[in-house]
């Protein structure tokens, strides 16, 4: 017998301990073997959660690689449901079953903690729990500005995140912009609401709401503008992303309220500089009102229109708006006209009327004081207007030369030198606008030879240079009989029956427009009478000269037409 055996026999306690240890080892081996076999025979996949600390710099792709390595070691049939990472905190919901090599050694893994490293990435403070995450629906956020989007009506299902399928197969919850006040940026993604697997009830997360831009709001001066014919109101908002080039084709002036554009302007709209700003409107102007009082036109003031658009005043179409009055009895000559108002003064102005006798007498007196006699001259009075910051000053020498040189035809130099000019005092009719009555004296012989001239009644810059240029000779005038009567009148005071174009040199205007008044002597025979007497070889009467007096024509054959 060996010495060791004798030692054991001499120590019964040791012998007992050895026996117990051997029995325990046999029991453990048998139990482990049994548990291992049972684990292999029946295992169920469980819903599990994992929390861990990871380096904050890890990307989602790196985390997935790390988890795959971890699950390959400790679990079978693992499947990741969701990964959430908030800075360095990681939450993972997954399905799987612990490997039997792990399960039989640690039958209860509740709260199990371990550190794990794979390649250059690591998980630390890992905690795995058996309890599946509570999959709670998410409610509307209690705080935050979501006025630009239409939030879901009530809660949204858990798992409503991009890329995840909701119950029923629907995708993430996409939101619409609140089109009353906002619009989606062209090409941008719609806002969305997300309800992750949080494990506890909570609020859904709204993102991409900045893709909804606040509309442009109407400016204070919106009155008088329309879009597609409808007036713009104080709460008329326009999308920040609107096509403003196309929108400009639909903007107009509210003509129902007598707003209009004026010369060199058109209605337009411009985008606001930033969202929630004011868009800009331009090009439409408020109407002009009838003035309350007037020194020269008080007698007819009540007959004038109470309100007129600036555009109608510029175009002269105001004369067709109802019964537009004639000049007042005290200043019966010329033609009554309106001058548009300004932004500073809402009243229109009247001008264009004068008393020719009074004006010519005053002008004759002024010329007589200069040693000029005009007793054998015909006096023409013309209203001219111009703009000037101050009272305009007339260079009478320049104007007189323009008038003398402006008469066409075979007028001699001596006859031109006998034409005279004199103007009255300029009168301000509107801010920076002056009217002046200009008087031109032309020898009676020139009138007899060349007819009555017409005059350009406008003058730029408030200086009458170039104004009052006479036209004559054989040039066809563009005047109508009404224009002729308003400027020169008919010798018997009778107004023309027809407002027809003269279509002849101005020297023939009297015989065309005033056929009852024989001009410059003669027999008084008209072209119609000349034709009826068989004096036209062509057998055709010139239709434009039926009322002309033969004595006023340079050639009686002008009464005849051509084949």
- 3 state DSSP class of 441: strand
- Map 485-548 to HEC letters: HHHHCCCCCCCCCCCCECCCEHHHHHHHHCCCCCCCCCCCCEHHHHHHCCCCCCCCECHHHCCC
Assess if CATH 3.30.70 describes domain 43-129: yes
What is the pLDDT, as a whole number, of residue 109? 43
From residue 403, alpha-carbon distances to 5, 294, 308, 365, 374 in Å are: 156, 33, 35, 20, 16
What is the pLDDT, as a whole number, of residue 8? 56
pLDDT tens column, 310-359: 999 998 889 887 789 999 999 999 999 999 998 888 999 999 999 999 99
Could you tell me the two tokens for 17? 């301990």
pLDDT tens column, 259-286: 999 988 899 999 999 999 999 999 999 9
pLDDT tens column, 407-421: 766 778 888 888 998
Name the percent of the chain lying above pLDDT 90.
Answer: 28
**Please, how many CA atoms are within 13 Å of residue 41, restricted to the half-sphere of its CB?**
6
- 3 state DSSP class of 129: strand
Contact 231, 254 (CB under 8 A): yes
Tokens 């008080």 -> residue: 298
Helices (H), 232-330: 244-247, 310-315
What is the pLDDT, as a whole number, of residue 87? 77
Mean pLDDT for the chain? 77
**pLDDT band, very low/low/confident/very high, at 216 (cuts 50, 70, 90):** very high
Could you tell me the two tokens for 1? 């017998």
What is the pLDDT, as a whole number, of residue 460? 30
Q: Is the pTM of this model over 0.85?
A: no
Residue ranges covered by each domain of the chain: 3-40, 43-129, 225-282, 288-352, 355-475
Between these two residues, 498 and 370, which has the higher pLDDT value? 370
**pLDDT band, very low/low/confident/very high, at 214 (cuts 50, 70, 90):** very high
Could you tell me the two tokens for 494? 């009778």
**pLDDT band, very low/low/confident/very high, at 365 (cuts 50, 70, 90):** very high
pLDDT tens column, 527-542: 887 788 888 888 888 7
Q: Is the pLDDT of residue 103 over 60?
A: no
E strand or H helix at 360: helix 356-369
Q: Is the pLDDT of residue 444 over 70?
A: yes
CA 203, 208, 212, 213 torsion-angle sign: positive
- Of 137, 144, 178, the C-alpha closest to 160 is 137
Q: Is the pLDDT of residue 481 over 80?
A: no
What is the pLDDT, as a whole number, of residue 332? 93
Residues ≥6 apart with Cβ < 8 Å to 329: 299
User: With 0-12 CB in 10 A as exposed, 13-18 as middle and 19+ as buried, what is 385?
Assistant: buried
Average pLDDT over residues 441-457: 73
Q: What are phi and psi of 366, to 5 degrees?
A: -65, -40
Measured over all CA atoms, what is the biggest interatomic distance in the chain, rounded to whole angstroms?
183
Strand partners, 339: 349
Average pLDDT over residues 32-55: 70
Could you tell me the two tokens for 378? 């015909």
pLDDT tens column, 217-260: 999 989 999 999 999 999 999 999 889 999 999 999 999 999 99
What is the pLDDT, as a whole number, of residue 49? 80
Pairing outcome for strands 138-139 and 202-203: parallel
């Amino acid at each position: 017998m060996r010495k060791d055996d004798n030692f054991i026999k001499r120590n019964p306690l040791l012998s007992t301990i050895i026996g117990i240890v051997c029995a325990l080892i046999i029991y453990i081996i048998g139990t482990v073997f049994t548990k291992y076999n049972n684990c292999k025979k029946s295992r169920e996949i469980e819903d599990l959660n994992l929390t861990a600390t990871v380096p904050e710099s890890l990307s989602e792709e790196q985390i997935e690689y790390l988890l795959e390595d971890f699950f390959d070691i400790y679990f079978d049939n693992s499947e990741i449901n969701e990964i959430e990472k908030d800075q360095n905190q990681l939450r993972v919901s997954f399905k799987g079953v612990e490997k039997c090599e792990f399960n039989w050694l640690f039958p209860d893994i509740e709260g199990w903690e371990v550190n794990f490293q794979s390649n250059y990435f690591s998980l630390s403070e890992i905690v795995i729990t058996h309890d599946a995450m509570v999959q709670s629906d998410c409610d509307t956020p209690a705080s935050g500005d979501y006025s630009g989007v239409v939030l879901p009506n009530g809660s949204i299902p858990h798992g409503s995140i991009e890329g995840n399928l909701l119950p029923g197969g629907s995708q993430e919850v996409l939101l619409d912009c609140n089109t009353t006040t906002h619009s989606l940026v062209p090409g941008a993604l719609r806002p969305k609401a997300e309800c992750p697997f949080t494990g506890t009830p909570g609020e859904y997360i709204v993102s991409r709401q900045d893709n909804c831009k606040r509309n442009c709001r109407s400016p204070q001066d919106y009155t008088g503008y329309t879009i597609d014919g409808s007036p713009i109101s104080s709460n008329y908002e326009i999308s920040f992303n609107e096509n403003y080039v196309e929108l400009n084709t639909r903007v107009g002036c509210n003509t129902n309220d007598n707003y209009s554009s004026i010369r060199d302007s058109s209605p337009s709209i411009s985008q606001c500089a930033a969202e929630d700003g004011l868009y800009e409107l331009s090009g439409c102007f408020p109407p002009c009102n009838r003035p309350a009082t007037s020194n020269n036109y008080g007698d007819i003031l009540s007959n004038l229109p109470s309100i007129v658009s600036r555009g109608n005043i510029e175009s002269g179409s105001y004369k067709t708006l109802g019964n537009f009055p004639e000049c007042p009895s005290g200043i019966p000559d010329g033609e009554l006209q309106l001058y548009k108002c300004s932004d500073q003064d809402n009243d229109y102005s009247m001008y264009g009327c004068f008393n020719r006798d009074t004006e010519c007498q005053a002008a004759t007196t002024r010329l007589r004081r200069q040693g000029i006699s005009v007793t054998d001259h015909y006096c023409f009075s013309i209203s001219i207007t111009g703009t000037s910051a101050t009272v305009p000053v007339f260079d009478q020498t320049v104007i007189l030369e323009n008038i003398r040189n402006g008469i066409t035809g075979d007028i001699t130099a001596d006859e031109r030198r006998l034409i005279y000019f004199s103007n009255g005092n300029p009168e301000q009719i509107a801010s920076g606008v002056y009217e002046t009555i200009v008087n031109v004296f032309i020898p009676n012989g020139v009138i007899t030879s060349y007819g009555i001239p017409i005059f350009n009644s406008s003058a730029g810059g408030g200086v009458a240079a170039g104004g009052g240029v006479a036209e004559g000779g054989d040039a066809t005038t563009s005047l109508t009989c009404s224009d002729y009567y308003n400027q020169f009148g008919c010798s018997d005071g009778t107004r023309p029956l027809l407002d027809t174009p003269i279509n002849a040199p101005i020297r023939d205007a009297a015989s065309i427009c005033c056929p009852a008044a024989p001009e410059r002597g003669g027999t008084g025979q008209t072209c119609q009478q000349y034709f009826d007497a068989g004096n036209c070889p062509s057998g055709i009467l010139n239709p434009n000269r039926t009322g002309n007096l033969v004595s006023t024509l340079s050639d009686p054959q002008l009464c005849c037409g051509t084949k």
